[in-house]
């Protein structure tokens, strides 16, 4: 199961880096739930709202000739068929990393068809890169 998750996750990151909303839709559960914290404000949302957010981010990257810097921080198997990944995502614009990054705690679960799907996320946005770069992870 670990091998299938790793293959899925590597593909997921590839879809993210290519900013492909059409491909990403198939990787997110229709029952997806998320919480995002931006400047202390908390917003809870589901599948449809998440697609709007992904679309905005992907459009920004495409329209500005930017790219994604995705950093895997930790992988934590939670249960059989359920794994949490902690990752950071920053945008590279004009060959320079933007000054903030987002930290994602994303939970993926195998569905009834034995396909991995993103089911939950907790997202801290606009973290200064200086803070991200100084974080110590084991």
pLDDT surpassing 70 at residue 2: no
What does the block give as tokens for 64?
A: 């500005």
The stretch 84-111 carries a mean pLDDT of 93
d(CA 49, CA 78): 26
The yes or no reply on domain 2-8+39-134 and CATH 3.30.1490 is no
For residue 98, the model assigns a pLDDT of 87
Each domain of the chain, given as residue ranges in start order, spans: 2-8+39-134
pTM higher than 0.75 for the full model? yes
Q: How confident is the model at residue 100 (pLDDT cuts 50, 70, 90)?
A: confident
Please state, in angstroms and as integers, the Cα–Cα distance from residue 51 to each residue in 23, 28, 76, 90, following that order. 11, 9, 25, 18
């Amino acid at each position: 199961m670990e091998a299938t998750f790793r293959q899925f996750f590597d593909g997921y990151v590839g879809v993210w880096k290519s900013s492909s909303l059409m491909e990403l839709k198939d990787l997110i559960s229709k029952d997806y739930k998320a919480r995002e914290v931006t400047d202390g404000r908390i917003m809870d949302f589901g599948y449809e709202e998440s697609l709007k957010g992904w679309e905005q981010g992907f459009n920004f990257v495409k329209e500005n000739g930017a790219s994604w810097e995705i950093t895997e921080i930790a992988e934590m198997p939670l249960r059989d068929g359920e794994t949490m990944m902690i990752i950071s995502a920053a945008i590279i614009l004009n060959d320079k990393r933007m000054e903030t990054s987002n930290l994602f705690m994303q939970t993926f679960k195998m569905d009834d068809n034995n396909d991995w799907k993103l089911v939950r996320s907790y997202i801290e946005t606009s973290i200064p890169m200086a803070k991200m770069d100084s974080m110590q992870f084991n």
